[in-house]
């Protein structure tokens, strides 16, 4: 069955307006419509499920408080996602201090080769590897890779230097490479 994008857009606009008008049923519908994707975003930034649940709830409170400011320019889902990412940043800033955790000089990596790593590892396993990163590395890795933020923007958002952002991103990549290599060794 083909979905008419205009009807979908009209329904989304109606749902948003009903939420602004305070209709609890519409608010519940909006929440149920977007919770799976937004929870996945928050889970990627979080160390565990409980933190992700806390952040996504805080994010939806912000969504409902800010609905009137949605300008209907661009995707509503992207607008919600941006709010969720900023809630993740806020949560991170309130919990962690930025400092290196891994001594890069002590890491001995073997070449993994040109294999398709994602094909050999499941999405859940990769998510666990990202979640296992130290908080600063995880935050910067997610902002750079998934949100496509520049190191300058990340530095501004997190209140760190651009060099610290670059360094922590590099360290995150090294840590993930090591985790992938270890996982592939175990799988053999």
Fold (topology level) of 5-95: Rna Polymerase Sigma Factor; Chain: A (1.10.1740)
Calpha distance 116→28 (Å, rounded): 41
Residues in the chain: 188
Mean pLDDT computed over every residue of the chain: 83
Calpha distance 104→107 (Å, rounded): 5
Would you state the pLDDT for residue 119?
57
Q: Break the chain into its structural domains and give their ranges.
A: 5-95, 104-187
Listed in sequence order, the residues at least 6 apart from 110 whose beta carbon sits closer than 8 Å to its beta carbon are 181
State phi, psi for 107 to the nearest 5 degrees: -85, 130
Calpha distance 85→166 (Å, rounded): 19
Calpha distance 55→47 (Å, rounded): 11
| Burial zone of 188 (CB within 10 Å; 0-12 exposed, 13-18 middle, 19+ buried) | exposed
Calpha distance 22→134 (Å, rounded): 40
Say if CB 60 and CB 53 are below 8 A apart: no
pLDDT band at residue 98 under the 50/70/90 scheme: very low
When pLDDT is averaged across residues 31-38 and rounded to a whole number, the result is 96
Look at residue 1 and tell me whether its pLDDT is greater than 80: no
CATH number of 104-187: 1.10.10.10
Look at residue 106 and tell me whether its pLDDT is greater than 60: no
Tens of pLDDT along 40-86? 999 999 989 999 999 999 999 999 999 999 988 889 999 999 999 99
When pLDDT is averaged across residues 132-157 and rounded to a whole number, the result is 93
When pLDDT is averaged across residues 27-46 and rounded to a whole number, the result is 95
* Site of tokens 């928050």: 42
Calpha distance 52→30 (Å, rounded): 19
Look at residue 172 and tell me whether its pLDDT is greater than 60: yes
Say if CB 146 and CB 85 are below 8 A apart: no
């Amino acid at each position: 069955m083909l979905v008419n994008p205009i009807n979908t857009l009209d329904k989304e606009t109606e749902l948003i307006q009903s939420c602004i008008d305070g209709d609890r049923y519409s608010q519940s519908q909006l929440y149920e419509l977007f919770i799976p994707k937004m929870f996945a975003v928050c889970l990627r930034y979080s160390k565990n499920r409980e933190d992700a649940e806390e952040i996504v709830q805080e994010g939806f409170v912000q969504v409902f408080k800010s609905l009137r400011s949605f300008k209907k320019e661009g995707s509503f889902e992207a607008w919600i996602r941006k709010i969720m990412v900023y809630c993740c940043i806020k949560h991170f800033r309130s919990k962690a201090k930025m400092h290196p955790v891994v001594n890069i000089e002590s890491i001995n990596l073997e070449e993994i080769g040109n294999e398709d790593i994602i094909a050999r590892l499941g999405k859940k396993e990769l998510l666990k590897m990202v979640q296992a990163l130290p908080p600063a590395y995880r935050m910067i890795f997610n902002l750079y890779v998934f949100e496509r933020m520049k190191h300058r923007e990340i530095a501004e958002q997190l209140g760190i230097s651009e060099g610290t952002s670059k360094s922590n991103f590099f360290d995150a990549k090294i840590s993930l490479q090591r985790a992938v290599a270890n996982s592939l060794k175990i799988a053999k």
